[in-house]
Chain A
Amino acid sequence: MEQSSDLDLIQRLRQGDAAALEVLMERHSSHAYRVAFGITGNSADAEEAVQDAFLTLYQKGNTFEGRAALSTWFYRVVTNAALTKRRGRRHEVEVSLEAQLPTFREDGSRVGDVSALIADWSQNPEAALLSRETHTLLQRAIEGLPDPYRVVLLLRDVEALTTEEVAEIVGESVAAVKSRLHRARMALREDLTRRLGPRERGHWLRDWRKRIGLWKR
C-alpha cells in the first residue's frame, strides 16, 4: 500500500477504503497543515482547512487525473481552503510591502546610512537568530504579508516547491511568482534587520543609562 500511486489511492479512497486514507494522510496531511497554518495564522482555521481539503479529495478526487503530481493539485486545494478561512479578517494584520523595500538614488545606489547598509546580522550567533523573539517576529512578519505574497513564500521557501509548480498552484505566471517571492523576502529581511541589525544611536545611550541605573540600585 505504501508504494501505491496517489491516483490509485484516491480511487480506493472514493470506494471507502480506510487503509488508503491512512496512506494519503501520512503522505500529505503534514504538508497540508503547515501550508494552512502559514496562510491562516492559527491552528483552528488550519485544522478546518485541512479537513476541507481532504473532503474535497474524497468528493472531487476524480477530477485529479494523475497528469500532474497529486501534491500540486492538493496544494492548490489546501491553499484555496485556507484563503477562504482567512478571508474577512485579513485587513486586520495585512500591511503594504512598499515601505519595506530598499530605496535607490537616481544613479542606482542605495539610500540610507552607510553603517546601517553594511551591517550584516547574518553572522549573528545562531542562538540569537533562532530565539523565541526572532521566531515571534518572523511569525508576525509573515502574517502581515499580503495573501498572494505569503502563499508564494510558503510554497517556495517552506515547502521547497519549484517556481513552475508554485505558478501552477496559484494560477499565475512564473514571472509573477518570482517577483512576489523576491518582494516577500525583501520585506521580511527588512523586518529582521530592524530587530537584529545595529540599533539607532539613541538606543545605545538609553540602554547604557538604564544599566547604570540598575548598578546603582
Chain B
Amino acid sequence: MEALTCREVILEFLADYVDGTLDAATVSELEAHLRVCRACMAYLNTYRKTRDLVGRHAAQVGMPDEMKVILRRVMLERMATGRA
C-alpha cells in the first residue's frame, strides 16, 4: 500500500479524521503520515484549533433581552388578531 501524500491527508481525509468519522484503516495510514510530516501535523493542529475557535467565538453571541421583549410583543399582537 502506498503511503498517503500531503494532498490526500489534507484534502481528502482531514475533516473526517477531526470529526471522528474516518475508518480505522485510514486512521492508521493517516497517523503514520503525521508521525513523519511536521507540516501536516501543524496543519491538523491549526485546523482543529480553527474549528474550536469558531465555536467559542460564536458562543458569545446571545439574543439581547430587549429583542426577546420585542419578539414576544410582535408575536402576541399577531396571535391576538387570530390570523394563523
Contact (Cβ within 8 A) B54 A157: yes
State the main secondary structure of chain A at its contact with B.
helix
Give A168 to B10 CA distance when docked, in angstroms.
Answer: 26
Contact (Cβ within 8 A) B61 A182: no
Contact (Cβ within 8 A) B51 A178: no
Contact (Cβ within 8 A) A114 B39: yes
> What string of 1s and 0s marks CB contacts (under 8 Å) between B52-84 and chain A?
011111111111100110111011101110111
State the main secondary structure of chain B at its contact with A.
helix
> What string of 1s and 0s marks CB contacts (under 8 Å) between A128-151 and chain B?
011000110011001000000000
**Which of B19, B39, B41, B70 has its CB near the most chain A CB atoms (within 10 A)?**
B39
The residues of A that contact B51 with a CB separation of less than 8 Å are 157, 185
Which of A110, A120, A123, A192 lies in contact with B53, CB distance below 8 A? A192
Q: Is residue B6 within 8 Å, beta carbon to beta carbon, of the partner chain?
A: yes
Contact (Cβ within 8 A) A38 B61: yes
The residues of A that contact B48 with a CB separation of less than 8 Å are 122
Interface residues of B (CB under 8 A from A): 5-8, 10-11, 14-16, 19, 21, 38-39, 41-43, 45-51, 53-64, 67-68, 70-72, 74-76, 78-80, 82-84
